[in-house]
Chains A and B, each alone.
Chain A
Amino acid sequence: MSESEPAPLLSVDRVTKRFPGVTALKDVCLSLQPGEVLALIGENGAGKSTLMKILAGVQLPDEGTIRVAGNSVTLDSVHTSQSQGIALIHQELNLSGNLDVGANIFLGREPRRFGLIDKDTIRKKSRALLKRLGLNVDPDTLVDHLPIGQQQLVEIARALSVDARVLIMDEPTSSLSQHETERLMQVVKELRCDGVSVIYISHRLREVMELADRVTVFRDGENAGELTREEMTHDSMVQLMVGRDVSQFYSRQPHPPGDVALEVSAITSPLDPGQRLSFQVRQGEIVGVSGLVGAGRSEMLEVVFGVRPTLQGHVKVGGRQLRLRSPVDAVEAGLALVPEDRKKQGVILELAVRTNIGLAGLRRHRRLGAFLNEAQEKADSAAMVKKLRIKTPGDLQTVQFLSGGNQQKVVLGKWLAMEPTVLLLDEPTRGIDIGAKHEIYTLMDQLAAAGMAILFVSSEMEEIIGMSDRVIVMHEGRITGELPREQLTEQSVMQLATGG
């Protein structure tokens, strides 16, 4: 930093944070000037969320210092962080839907008169804040009755009500429509003019290019580089995020696909009963499913896997129509699902690697009708640890002590041991490091080459574009379009994802 630059409003100096089995942040630095919009980008698992939690006072760093306006601070609680003027807006909004807008804005800091909540002041102040954000709703409206985009603005109003000088926005547009997104970007620009600094975390590089004064890139918990407004291009950003040539990182080499492996015909959309969903996946094909958060992608996979009932329409695997009453039927038919939330749905953390891998095959390999086949389980586990290069001291280690990437490989191992014909992946690389990501991409390519049909949901645009032979795009519970590999661009996908 040169002498002439003003002192940063917020600076993060060599911060390190370790969790059991993984170093989430290593000596990361970041600085933010007053009235600056800094974009923080990086692949899933790069450490962005961890740093944001540290800044919001949710977690304490193991090493390093944080300065606000030049003074070293210890952000040991959300309250401390707020009193330093730092406010975090989570990707999943933290609003109480059963309370009205005004109550949410002043939650925990209600102005009082004679010891009782002063509703009039709340209304008056809320109105002023909402007006500043261009949101024309009554403060008495229940938050549940507002669309997501407006709820987001209520969150921002709450942050402004505590006089936030630093506003951290974590993926603010991941569930917003095109129009709502534009409105939000306008608000961010206006806040900048008012001297509020913003840390803007996003996967949408187009938004980043439009908004950011500067970009800081994280990769695997470290600073990967920084770009000024002039240096910002799509390619320069992706290059820094993945740390190598993009065409090598996403190792997909499409082959001509085989027969139809999975056929979904006119099933009722779980989010919108008026809509029907139909699509096919062929052997050897990798089909991506894109869309905004809440577009109904995971729910669609859940219908195919028998978690949710198939209300109408049907699912065929290898030409045979299935009766899907539960995942038990789906597994029998040769389907496999790697679910979205690894720790809650994928692995059983307290059980050993071997037990987790053996879980799906218990029934298939049972002996004398009821007994465990421990030899088979041991063999499957050993084969998968080797094939997927699961880093573990041994397969009797409990899964909770493995890194995110290795936990995900355990989930994959559980299913690959079953030799499925159709593999459903829901956000398969969320929260795992670059190395493991690359391995999973390579594996997907190999499995497809061997004839497996792969359907994968992802919120990461780069991954969707890099790995898919074809992309199905969803918006508010329906399929808005399908794009072949040649037509895949961030624009074309976003166009369909925000309603076409």
Chain B
Amino acid sequence: MKKNLGILAVIAVVFIVTAIGGDGFLSAFNLYNLVERISLYAIIGIGVSFVIVTGGIDLSIGSFIGLCAVTFPFLVIGHNVSLTTGLLLLLTMSVCAGLFHGLLVTKLDLQPFVVTLCTLMMYRGVARHLVSDSTMGYSDERFQPLSLMVGRLSELPWFEGQAWARHVPVALLIMIVIGVLAAVFLNRTIYGRDLMALGRNREAAHLSGINTTKMIILAYVLCSVTSGFGALLFALDVVSVQPSTFGSFYELYAIAAAVLGGCSLRGGEGSIFGVILGAALMRLLMNSIQMLGVSDALEEFVIGFVILLGVIIDVIVKRVVAKRRARQQATVAAGAE
């Protein structure tokens, strides 16, 4: 919690500045959309943080999202597969992708960067080829039951007729549920502890009797399954899906959210709440840039710059703390003599 105070402060500052300087930022419409976007990005950020905790990386998330988003209507509309079967196939596909990544990383000891860089390109190619590069739509009424997931909370039976629920996206609820499950997994189960330990020192974890191979594979599977589910949400939200671009760079947003939230790419460090805040800051910045009338062209620059700044400040703070600590230890040691 203490670690997240910095990013919370930055979010507060950006929020206040935009609220004062930006027209329409505080409108119900804008805030609703902002919260929904934050929720979707936080979900894939949570997914990739499992892999990052092990010291790995998954660069294929964006194109895997593209592949899933294309495949689902391809099955349901194109081949008249039932919604349930379609969902099961999507889940199977996600599990297989994760297994594929995890097995290559552990059994063949390939670098995660290389493995997922290759699958990034492969998934995109498959997605485009599968539907001959044609746009896929989610407006068909067969998708109606699923569309609830990107609707308003008031559309759900439990919240029917409650005024406030009309301003809350269902995606936020989904994100919170996933976040709580992920946090419990990471902090309260032996598996989460395994991941944290092996992310810091794989050999020591292995020699302590932890099945590191199995756990790393599990992390990649969790990441792919989360991306597959995220793909569905993103696709239902925007309704039309271009095979060649849908999901592009999402992996970078997910990774950036995780890093902003305190995950170290060296592994072993990360909190789910932090990742959610990271996603929130990133989407908030994008929104602010629009609201404050900053040139769209500068959007990527600003986000990249802010993330870099955050990481630099984090490193400097850590160094100062470590130095102060070393000095204290030295004086203690000197005093003991």
Q: Show the binding face of A for B, using Cβ within 8 Å.
A: 18, 20-23, 26, 305, 307, 326-328, 330-332, 337, 339, 344-351, 355, 359-360, 362-363, 366, 370-372, 401, 414
A370 to B330, CA, bound (A): 42
- Which residues of A lie under 8 Å from residue B326 when comparing CB positions? 20
Looking at A330, A331, A332, A372, the one whose CB has the most chain B CB atoms below 10 A away is: A372
Complex Cα distance A327/B193, Å? 17
In the complex with contacts A20-B329, A20-B330, A372-B193, A327-B206 CB distance below 8 A: yes
Other-chain contact of B189, A18, A22, A346, A370 (Cβ < 8 Å): A370
A345 to B210, CA, bound (A): 13
**In the complex with contacts A23-B337, A366-B190, A370-B189, A344-B329 CB distance below 8 A:** no
What are 6 of the A-B contact pairs (CB < 8 Å)?
A18-B334, A26-B337, A348-B201, A362-B193, A370-B189, A372-B189
Is the pair B334, A351 in contact by a Cβ cutoff of 8 Å? no
A372→B329 CA distance, assembly (Å): 32
Q: A22 CA to B334 CA in the complex, in Å?
A: 9
Residue on B nearest A339 in the bound complex, by CB: B207
Q: B211 near A328 (CB under 8 angstroms)?
A: yes
Range class of the B interface residue count: 20 to 34
Q: Across the interface, do B203 and A344 meet the contact criterion of CB distance under 8 Å?
A: yes
A418 to B: closest C-beta gap in Å: 9
Indicate whether B129 reaches chain A with its CB closer than 8 angstroms.
no
A371 is contacted by which of B188, B194, B211 (Cβ under 8 Å)?
Answer: B188
Interface check B302, CB cutoff 8 A: no
Do residues A345 and B333 form an inter-chain contact, with CB atoms below 8 A?
A: no
Cα(A359)–Cα(B330), bound, Å = 30
CB of B191 closer than 8 Å to a CB of A: yes
- In the complex, whether B204 has a CB less than 8 A from a CB of chain A is yes
Min C-beta distance of B162 to chain A, whole Å: 35
Q: Say yes or no: B190 contacts A348, CB within 8 Å.
A: no
CB within 8 Å of A: which of B176-198? 188-191, 193-194, 196-197
Given contacts A348-B201, A362-B193, A370-B189, contact A18 B333 (CB under 8 A): yes
- State whether A330 touches B200 (Cβ < 8 A): no
Contact B209 A371 (CB under 8 A): no
User: Could you tell me if B333 and A23 are in contact, using CB atoms closer than 8 angstroms?
Assistant: yes
Shortest 10 CB-CB contacts between residues of A and residues of B = A331-B209, A362-B190, A359-B208, A348-B201, A370-B189, A20-B329, A348-B200, A20-B326, A360-B208, A327-B209
Interface of A is mostly: mixed
Instruction: Provide the B204-224 mask, 1 if CB < 8 A to any CB of A, else 0.
Output: 111111110000000000000
The distance from the CB of A338 to the nearest CB of chain B, in whole angstroms, is: 9
Q: Which residues of B contact A359 (CB under 8 A)?
A: 193, 197, 205, 208, 210
Shortest Cβ distance from A56 into chain B, in angstroms?
Answer: 23
Chain A residues, Cβ within 8 Å of B329: 20-21, 401
- From residue A404, how far is it (CB to closest CB) to chain B in Å? 14
Chain A residues with CB under 8 A of B270: none
Contact B204 A328 (CB under 8 A): no
Q: Does B62 reach chain A (CB closer than 8 Å)?
A: no
Note all chain B residues with C-beta closer than 8 A to A350: 200, 268-269
Closest residue of B by beta carbon distance from A365: B190
| Shortest distance from the beta carbon of B212 to any chain A beta carbon, whole Å | 9
Q: Which A residues are in CB contact (< 8 Å) with B334?
A: 18, 23
Say whether B325 faces chain A, with CB atoms less than 8 Å apart.
yes
Chain B residues whose C-beta falls within 8 Å of the C-beta of A23 in the assembled complex = 333-334, 337
Knowing A362-B190, A370-B189, the reply to whether A328 touches B203 (Cβ < 8 A) is: no
Q: Per-residue CB proximity of B311-337 to A under 8 Å, as 1/0?
A: 000000000000001100110011001
Q: Which residues of A contact B201 (CB under 8 A)?
A: 344, 347-349
Residues of chain B within 8 A (CB-CB) of A344 are 201, 203-204
Cross-chain contact B204 with A371 (CB below 8 angstroms): no
Q: How distant is A159 from chain B, measured CB to nearest CB, in Å?
A: 34
Query: Once the chains are docked, how many angstroms separate the CA of A26 from the CA of B197?
Result: 35
A337 engages B207 (CB within 8 Å): yes
- Chain A residues within 8 Å of B333, by CB: 18, 21-23
Query: Which of A307, A348, A363 makes the CB contact (< 8 A) with B204?
Result: A348
Chain A nearest Cβ from B301, distance in angstroms:
34
Tell me the complex Cα distance, A337–B326, Å: 31
